[in-house]
Structure 1
Amino acid sequence: MEAFFRTHNYLVEHTDAPVRRRLMDEIDWNDRMIGIKGSRGVGKTTFLLQYAKEHVDVNNRKCLYVNMNNFYFQVRGIADFAGEFYRNGGRTLLIDQVFKEPNWAKELRQCYDLYPELKIVFTGSSVMRLKDESSELNGIVKSYNLRGFSFREFLNLQTGNKFKPYTLEDIIENHEHIVREILPYVSPLKYFQDYLHHGYYPFFREHRNYSENLLKTMNMMTEVDILFIKQIELKYLAKIKKLFYLLAVNGEKAPNISKLASAIETSRATVMNYIKYLADARLINIVYPVGQAFPKKPPMVVMHNPNLMYAIYPINVEKQNVMENFFLNALWKDHKVNVGAKSGSYVVGEKYTFRVFDATKQTRPRMCADTICARYNTEIGHGNMLPLWLLGFLY
């Protein structure tokens, strides 16, 4: 136990989180069982350590961070370890990568039932299903999703500003006023392309080649987050990776499921399952019309965020596709996004119809008469035409 406390103290003291994540204020920290899911590379470990740094004195032994990568947990379960921690006065256990424990859900349930004053905050893959009816944690865990940096968070990090987030309704109704508050301090377009290329995953701050690091992360998403958690045999890994690449190259078009099935030598049903796994891993997003959902064939499959587009197939990145990808990813945190009835349109929350277009090519397109137009290549907007970059301030 002492070795774990020494590691905890060292990690907390050396945690570098220059931007406070929005999720930190959205979580109800009074809950006893909190699960924080997210794709690989978005900063879940740093988030846990930042919580410890903000809420508990580093010398207070009531809080402890542990990582399930430690080989110690190959011979000792979570519940057994938590019991010793609890009996010695521990009250907040932070568990990183909980899915590395084979019976993690059962072990966490044991902790919940046996130690009523113990709070557990754990991180896991976005592929995990915490609230399935079959799960031991159904009804007791409060689940949250940690995403990569928003454009607002990236901008604050790069410029030292502390811009606040806005709701979608605020941006739609007051975008002209909001922009006037931001522009005196920074020119967002100077940083927007950098964000699209390498600003979503916090590890861009590391002194390594970002694209190579992201490719490594993407491989880990398929090899661990999909194969390990979904318990898929290793022999199918190449098929999943090939499917992911073909979807990326295909661009924002309706996937031809039959051709994809032939290309990776499997059935149509298996292709649809693999597409769902890739979406759960936050490698792609599936976009349906209003009223439709999986397992129906989707009319649009896109990369989860623009950084992935530049990493997996940089020679075929079209600007319009990148901007629409940014739009989708920015909205997806708190809003449902569907393919609109008209080509190139999107329906947000079954309420707002949006289009994304280049402000330098069209000054006032007729299409904006009955829709909200998110324009790129401009820092300002007017009326129902708002600057696209501002949607990066939603979280």
Structure 2
Amino acid sequence: MEAFFRTHKYLVEHVNAPVRRTLMDEINWNDRMIGIKGTRGIGKTTFLLQYAKEHFDVQDRQCLYINMNNFYFQGRGIADFAGDFYYHGGRVLLIDQVFKQDNWSQELRKCYDMYPGLKIVFTGSSVMRLKDENPELNGIVKSYNLRGFSFREFINLLTGNDFRPYTLEEILSDHERIIKQILPKVSPNRYFNDYIHHGFYPFFQEQRNYSENLLKTMNMMTEVDILLIKQIELKYLTKIKKLFYQLAEEGPKAPNVSKLAQDIETSRATVMNYIKYLTDARLLNMIYPIGEDFPKKPSKVMLHNSNLLYAIYPIHVDKQDAMETFFVNSLWKDHKVNQSTRDNFYLIDEKLKFKVCNAETTSKMRYTPDTIYARYNTEIGKDNQIPLWLLGFLY
């Protein structure tokens, strides 16, 4: 146990979190069982350590961070370790990468039932379906998603500003005033293209090649997260990777499921399941017409965030595709995003009609009052014309 406390102390003392994630204030920390999901490289470990740093003195042995990567846990269950921690005064156990241990959900259930004064906060892959696939956690776990940096967080980090997030309602009703508060302090266009290229994953701050690091992360998502958690045999890995690459290369559009099935030599149903797994891993986004959902074919499949475009297919990145990818990625956290197969408008929350467009090429465009125009290549807005970058302030 002493070795774990020494590691905890060192990690908390050296945690570097220059931008405080908004999720920290969205979680009800009074709950006894809290699950935080997110993709690799998104900052889950830093988030746990930041929580420990904010709420406990580094010498306080009531809180302990552990990582299931430690081989020690191959010989000792979570519940057994948690009991030892609890009976020596421990009250908050932070468990990183919980899915690395077999029967982790049953072990967490044991902890919940046996140690009523113990709070457990654990992290896991975005591929995990905490309640659907782990019925023993139903009714006891509160699940949250940690996302990559928003454009707002990216700007705050690079400029030292402390801009707050805005709701979609605030932006729609008051965007001209909001912009007047931001522009004197920073020029968003100076940072927007950098964010589109390399701002979503926190590891852009590291002194390593970002695209190479992201490619490594993407491979780990498919090789470990999808295969391990979904219990898929290794021999099918090449099919999943090939499918992912083909979807990325084709750009945002409705997938030809029959052709994809033929190309990777599998069934249509398996192709749709693979697309769902890639979506769960936050590598893809599926957009559906209103009233439809998986397992039906989506009206559009696109990469989850714009950084992935430059990592997987840097030879030719279509600017419009990148901007629409940013739009969907910014909105889907708190809003429902739909699109029909017949037009290029997005419908948000089944009522707000959006069109993503280039401000430099729409001077002769006829703007209609029933549509909100999210325009890029501009910093200002007017009426129902909103600068696209401002939607990066939604969280």
TM range (shorter): over 0.9
Alignment partner, residue 345 of structure 2: 345
Matches within 5 A, 1:369-384: 369-384=369-384
Alignment partner, residue 45 of structure 1: 45
Tell me which amino acid in the other structure corresponds to 2:141.
V
Tell me which amino acid in the other structure corresponds to 2:377.
N
Offset of residue 351 of structure 1: 1.6
1:113 matched to 2:113? The reply is yes
Q: Residues 299 and 341 of structure 2 are in contact (CA less than 8 Å); yes or no, is this contact kept in structure 1?
A: no
In structure 1, C-alpha distance between the alignment counterparts of 2:261 and 2:133, rounded to whole Å = 31
In structure 1, C-alpha distance between the alignment counterparts of 2:289 and 2:342, rounded to whole Å = 11
Alignment partner, residue 227 of structure 1: 227
Structure 2 CA distance for partners of 1:185 and 1:293, relative to 1, 3 Å? same
In structure 1, C-alpha distance between the alignment counterparts of 2:40 and 2:339, rounded to whole Å = 27
Structure 2 CA distance for partners of 1:252 and 1:267, relative to 1, 3 Å? same
Tell me which amino acid in the other structure corresponds to 2:2.
E
Offset of residue 368 of structure 1: 3.5
Question: Identity of counterpart residues, as a percentage?
Answer: 74
Offset of residue 133 of structure 1: 7.0
Q: Residues 289 and 339 of structure 1 are in contact (CA less than 8 Å); yes or no, is this contact kept in structure 2?
A: yes
Alignment partner, residue 161 of structure 2: 161
Structure 2 CA distance for partners of 1:133 and 1:262, relative to 1, 3 Å? closer
Q: Which deviations, in whole Å up to 9, do the C-alpha atoms of 1:235-258 show, x marking residues without a partner?
A: 000000000000000111111001
In structure 2, C-alpha distance between the alignment counterparts of 1:183 and 1:132, rounded to whole Å = 45
Alignment partner, residue 211 of structure 1: 211
In structure 1, C-alpha distance between the alignment counterparts of 2:179 and 2:163, rounded to whole Å = 11
Offset of residue 100 of structure 1: 0.2
Offset of residue 342 of structure 1: 5.2
Structure 1: stretches of 5+ with no match in the other structure: none
Q: Which deviations, in whole Å up to 9, do the C-alpha atoms of 1:27-53 show, x marking residues without a partner?
A: 000000000000111100000000000
Alignment partner, residue 247 of structure 1: 247
Instruction: Report the aligned-residue RMSD.
Output: 0.9
- The secondary structure found in structure 2 opposite 1:285 is strand
Alignment partner, residue 73 of structure 1: 73
Alignment partner, residue 32 of structure 1: 32
Greater displacement, 235-244 / 332-341? 332-341
Greater displacement, 341-350 / 93-102? 341-350
TM-score scaled by length of structure 2: 0.99
In structure 2, C-alpha distance between the alignment counterparts of 1:133 and 1:43, rounded to whole Å = 24
Structure 2 CA distance for partners of 1:342 and 1:355, relative to 1, 3 Å? farther
Q: Residues 39 and 125 of structure 2 are in contact (CA less than 8 Å); yes or no, is this contact kept in structure 1?
A: yes
Q: Residues 305 and 326 of structure 2 are in contact (CA less than 8 Å); yes or no, is this contact kept in structure 1?
A: yes
- The secondary structure found in structure 2 opposite 1:64 is strand
Q: Which deviations, in whole Å up to 9, do the C-alpha atoms of 1:44-66 show, x marking residues without a partner?
A: 00000000000000000000000
Offset of residue 132 of structure 1: 1.5
Matches within 5 A, 1:383-394: 383-394=383-394
Offset of residue 366 of structure 1: 2.1
In structure 2, C-alpha distance between the alignment counterparts of 1:133 and 1:322, rounded to whole Å = 34
In structure 2, C-alpha distance between the alignment counterparts of 1:133 and 1:169, rounded to whole Å = 35
Structure 2: stretches of 5+ with no match in the other structure: none
Tell me which amino acid in the other structure corresponds to 1:218.
M
Tell me which amino acid in the other structure corresponds to 1:326.
F
Alignment partner, residue 355 of structure 2: 355
In structure 2, C-alpha distance between the alignment counterparts of 1:252 and 1:18, rounded to whole Å = 34
Q: Which deviations, in whole Å up to 9, do the C-alpha atoms of 1:111-155 show, x marking residues without a partner?
A: 000000000000000011111275210110000000000000000
- The secondary structure found in structure 2 opposite 1:65 is strand
Matches within 5 A, 1:265-304: 265-304=265-304
Q: Residues 92 and 120 of structure 1 are in contact (CA less than 8 Å); yes or no, is this contact kept in structure 2?
A: yes
Tell me which amino acid in the other structure corresponds to 2:313.
Y
Q: Residues 374 and 387 of structure 1 are in contact (CA less than 8 Å); yes or no, is this contact kept in structure 2?
A: yes
In structure 2, C-alpha distance between the alignment counterparts of 1:82 and 1:350, rounded to whole Å = 45
Q: Residues 93 and 119 of structure 1 are in contact (CA less than 8 Å); yes or no, is this contact kept in structure 2?
A: yes
- The secondary structure found in structure 1 opposite 2:375 is strand
Q: Residues 299 and 340 of structure 2 are in contact (CA less than 8 Å); yes or no, is this contact kept in structure 1?
A: no
Offset of residue 340 of structure 1: 4.3
Tell me which amino acid in the other structure corresponds to 1:3.
A
Matches within 5 A, 1:89-108: 89-108=89-108
Q: Residues 95 and 120 of structure 1 are in contact (CA less than 8 Å); yes or no, is this contact kept in structure 2?
A: yes
Q: Which deviations, in whole Å up to 9, do the C-alpha atoms of 1:201-256 show, x marking residues without a partner?
A: 00000000000000000000001110000000000000000000000001111110
Greater displacement, 338-347 / 284-293? 338-347
Q: Residues 214 and 311 of structure 1 are in contact (CA less than 8 Å); yes or no, is this contact kept in structure 2?
A: yes
In structure 1, C-alpha distance between the alignment counterparts of 2:223 and 2:157, rounded to whole Å = 31
1:15 matched to 2:15? The reply is yes
Tell me which amino acid in the other structure corresponds to 1:228.
L
Greater displacement, 364-373 / 280-289? 364-373
In structure 1, C-alpha distance between the alignment counterparts of 2:315 and 2:371, rounded to whole Å = 32
Offset of residue 315 of structure 1: 1.3
In structure 1, C-alpha distance between the alignment counterparts of 2:39 and 2:134, rounded to whole Å = 23
Tell me which amino acid in the other structure corresponds to 1:94.
L
Tell me which amino acid in the other structure corresponds to 1:290.
I
In structure 1, C-alpha distance between the alignment counterparts of 2:243 and 2:361, rounded to whole Å = 35
Q: Residues 340 and 353 of structure 1 are in contact (CA less than 8 Å); yes or no, is this contact kept in structure 2?
A: no
- The secondary structure found in structure 1 opposite 2:368 is helix
How many equivalent pairs are there?
A: 395
Tell me which amino acid in the other structure corresponds to 2:197.
H
Q: Residues 249 and 316 of structure 1 are in contact (CA less than 8 Å); yes or no, is this contact kept in structure 2?
A: no
Tell me which amino acid in the other structure corresponds to 1:332.
W
Structure 2 CA distance for partners of 1:344 and 1:367, relative to 1, 3 Å? farther
